Amino acid sequence: RSSRMVRVVVVGDAQVGKSSIIKCYISNTFDENLAPVIPIAVLPPDASPERVPLTLVDTSSRDGSVLEEEIRQADVAVVVYAADKPETLARVTSHWLPLLQASRENIPVVVAGNKLDLRGGDAHSIESDLRNAVAPIMEKFSAVETCIDCSAKRMINIPEVILFAIKAVLHPSAPLYDAVRHELKPLCIKALKRIFNLCDSDGDGVLNDVEVNKFQMACFGSQLLQNQVYGIKNVLRRNLPDGVTERGITFAGFVYLLTLFVQRGRTETTWEVLRAYGYGLDLRLRRDTLPDLGHAHRDQCHVLTDVSLSFLEALFLKHDADNDGFLSFEELQSLFDPTPGVPWEEAHQLASADKDGNLDLQGFIAQWVACCYLNPHGCMESLVHLGFRGGKENSMEAAISLSPRRSVEYMQGATTRRVFRITLLGVGNVCPFTFARSLLPRHELPRGCDKQPVRSQAKDAPFPLVISRVAAAAAKNSSVHLIVESVNNDKESSKDSDCIVILFSSHVRSSFSLAWDSYTHLSGVNQDCPILFAEVNNKTSEDVDDDIAIQSPSETCAFHRLPAPLRLSHDGEADSDFTLLWTSVLDACLHPHKSSPVLADKMRKRAMWKRLAQLSCYSALVVAGVAVVLSRGRSWRM
User: What pLDDT was estimated at residue 152?
Assistant: 94
Residue 458's pLDDT band, with cuts at 50, 70 and 90, is: very low
Cα separation, 485 vs 465, in Å, equals 6
User: What pLDDT was estimated at residue 356?
Assistant: 74
Examine residue 504 and state whether it is found in any structural domain, yes or no: yes
Helix (H) or strand (E) holding 110: strand 109-114
Query: 381 pLDDT exceeds 60?
Result: yes
DSSP state of 244: B
Examine residue 388 and state whether it is found in any structural domain, yes or no: yes
First to last CA, the chain: 90
- When pLDDT is averaged across residues 87-91 and rounded to a whole number, the result is 93
User: What pLDDT was estimated at residue 602?
Assistant: 52
Find which of 35-39, 473-477, 508-512 is predicted with most confidence, using mean pLDDT. 35-39
Report whether 266 contacts 173 (CB < 8 A).
no
Which phi-psi region, left, alpha or beta, contains residue 605 (left: φ > 0; alpha: ψ -120 to 50)? Answer: alpha
475 with 570, same domain: the answer is yes
53 with 146, same domain: the answer is yes
Looking at 403, 423, 440, which one is the last position of a domain? 403
Neighbours of 450 (CB within 10 A): 18
Query: 444 pLDDT exceeds 50?
Result: no
Read off the pTM.
0.74
108 with 123, same domain: the answer is yes
Distant-in-sequence, close-in-space partners of 78: CB < 8 Å, separation ≥ 6 = 8, 9, 10, 11, 21, 109, 110, 111, 112, 161, 162, 165
Cα separation, 289 vs 274, in Å, equals 12
241 with 362, same domain: the answer is no
Which phi-psi region, left, alpha or beta, contains residue 74 (left: φ > 0; alpha: ψ -120 to 50)? Answer: beta
392 with 455, same domain: the answer is no
Neighbours of 93 (CB within 10 A): 16
- When pLDDT is averaged across residues 101-126 and rounded to a whole number, the result is 83
Could you please report the per-residue DSSP string of 413-479?
T-----EEEEEEEE-TT--HHHHHHHTS-SSPPPTT-S--BPPP--SSS---EEE-HHHHHHTTT--
Distances (CA, A) of 615 to 288, 413, 621: 54, 22, 10
Report whether 445 contacts 522 (CB < 8 A).
no
User: What pLDDT was estimated at residue 349?
Assistant: 44
Write the CATH number for 448. 3.40.50.300
Write the CATH number for 320. 1.10.238.10
Residue 526's pLDDT band, with cuts at 50, 70 and 90, is: confident
User: What pLDDT was estimated at residue 453?
Assistant: 33
User: What pLDDT was estimated at residue 137?
Assistant: 85
Closest to 273 (Cα-Cα) out of 203, 217, 208, 340: 217
Q: pLDDT digit string (tens) for 539-590?
A: 654 444 544 444 578 888 888 788 889 888 755 455 677 778 888 888 888 8
Q: pLDDT digit string (tens) for 239-291?
A: 999 999 999 999 999 999 999 999 988 999 999 999 999 999 999 998 888 88
- Mean pLDDT lowest among 198-202, 288-292, 380-384: 288-292
Cα separation, 249 vs 213, in Å, equals 12
What's the number of CA atoms in the CB half-sphere (13 Å) around residue 163? 14
User: What pLDDT was estimated at residue 570?
Assistant: 59
How many folded domains does the chain comprise? 5
Residue 442's pLDDT band, with cuts at 50, 70 and 90, is: very low
Report whether 130 contacts 119 (CB < 8 A).
no
Which domain covers residue 561, as residue numbers? 409-595
- Mean pLDDT lowest among 48-52, 350-354, 581-585: 350-354
134 with 17, same domain: the answer is yes
Cα separation, 210 vs 200, in Å, equals 10
What HEC string does 137-201 produce? HHHHCCCEEEEEECECCCCECHHHHHHHHHHHHHCCCCCCEECCCCEECHHHHHHHHHHHHHHCC
Neighbours of 328 (CB within 10 A): 18
Cα separation, 468 vs 547, in Å, equals 39
CB neighbour class for 291 (10 Å; exposed up to 12, middle 13-18, buried from 19): middle
User: What pLDDT was estimated at residue 237?
Assistant: 95
Residue 338 identity (one-letter amino acid) = P
**C-alpha of 389 from chain center:** 17
Residue 477's pLDDT band, with cuts at 50, 70 and 90, is: very low
Examine residue 175 and state whether it is found in any structural domain, yes or no: no
604 with 591, same domain: the answer is no
Examine residue 178 and state whether it is found in any structural domain, yes or no: no
139 with 194, same domain: the answer is no
Q: Between these two residues, 102 and 362, which has the higher pLDDT value?
A: 102
Cα separation, 188 vs 72, in Å, equals 27
Query: 87 pLDDT exceeds 90?
Result: yes
Residue 362 identity (one-letter amino acid) = Q
Cα separation, 486 vs 465, in Å, equals 9
The 3-state DSSP class for residue 400 equals: strand
Cα separation, 626 vs 427, in Å, equals 65
Looking at 403, 425, 446, which one is the last position of a domain? 403
Examine residue 451 and state whether it is found in any structural domain, yes or no: yes
Examine residue 176 and state whether it is found in any structural domain, yes or no: no
What's the number of CA atoms in the CB half-sphere (13 Å) around residue 564? 8
364 with 470, same domain: the answer is no
Percent of the chain exceeding pLDDT 90 equals: 40
What is the average pLDDT score of the chain?
A: 81
- DSSP H helices, 536-573, are 552-559
Residue 58's pLDDT band, with cuts at 50, 70 and 90, is: very high
267 with 349, same domain: the answer is no
Examine residue 233 and state whether it is found in any structural domain, yes or no: yes
Cα separation, 445 vs 31, in Å, equals 83
28 with 163, same domain: the answer is yes
18 with 127, same domain: the answer is yes
Bridge partners of 109, per DSSP, are 77, 144
Closest to 511 (Cα-Cα) out of 545, 487, 486, 484: 545
Cα separation, 170 vs 113, in Å, equals 23
User: What pLDDT was estimated at residue 18?
Assistant: 95
Query: 123 pLDDT exceeds 70?
Result: no
Distant-in-sequence, close-in-space partners of 594: CB < 8 Å, separation ≥ 6 = 530, 563, 587, 588, 600
The 3-state DSSP class for residue 293 equals: coil
Could you please report the per-residue DSSP string of 6-34?
EEEEEEESTTSSHHHHHHHHHHS---SS-
Examine residue 527 and state whether it is found in any structural domain, yes or no: yes
Looking at 225, 259, 288, which one is the last position of a domain? 288
